[in-house]
Amino acid sequence: HRIIILIVTMLIVISTIGYISFTMNNMLLFLMLINVLVPILIIVSDYIDKPIQIMRNNKYINEAKKIIDSSPNLIVIGVTGTYGKTSVKNYLAKILSCKYQVLVTPQNYNTTLGVVKTIRENLRATHQIFICEMGACNIGDIKEICDIVKPKYGIITSIGPQHLETFGNVENVANTKFELADEVLNNKNGKIYVNFDSVPAKERAEKITDRSQIVSFGTSNDCDCMAKNISYSPSGTTFD
């Protein structure tokens, strides 16, 4: 839509300027006006297209919500974190696919519209589990995705200093990642799994008053699920 609007607007303006310049027999005027107006036209066309784009995106989002709502038995697992979310998503999908029909957000489809596209194009009635990777560049991004997919389980892999140009500080990063926890904890049967080896994630989890639905994992003794004797080799990773 944006390209079409831009082309149509430019054709109209260029034709008008061309006609005026031709009647005045002044080609220099034509070139000067084109040079000045083209950047303005790009800005104007973007301004015109923005509400159209928002309407189109909202339409797709509402369609995705209806698809999720029509699958009441679908188990949704949200995965987020500054680092490791894609790897955890892939590991989890590989394991669960041995027993269940699993849909996974592909590649880096971890934005709102990426998740919406995955749901609209790939979610089927036969799917039992939907593993949804959730990325964020701004406060509220994770909540927006959660409002669509309504996860019952969540995994927070880590929290660190990333996208600080929009978040401002690590505390805002943590609060945004824990928007997933806020959604999961609203479900009395939900569970949120938090990596306690990530200090910011651990500190943020410890601020939650009722931690009965929080499961900690990591390598320290105070974790609910602890890995030890971790070994790496070309053939894979092992641990106890």
Express each pLDDT in 101-130 by its tens digit: 999 999 889 999 999 999 999 999 999 999
Query: What residues does 77 pair with on adjacent strands?
Result: 131, 153
Tens-place pLDDT, residues 18-48: 555 555 555 555 556 566 666 766 676 667 6
Q: Is 80 within 8 Å of 160 (Cβ atoms)? A: no
What pLDDT, on the 0 to 100 scale, is given for residue 3?
Answer: 58
Q: Which residue has the tokens 């036969």?
A: 126
The model's pTM is 0.81
Residue 215 host element (H or E): strand 214-218
Q: How many angstroms separate the CA atoms of 174 and 202, rounded?
A: 10
Across the range 149-169, mean pLDDT stands at: 95
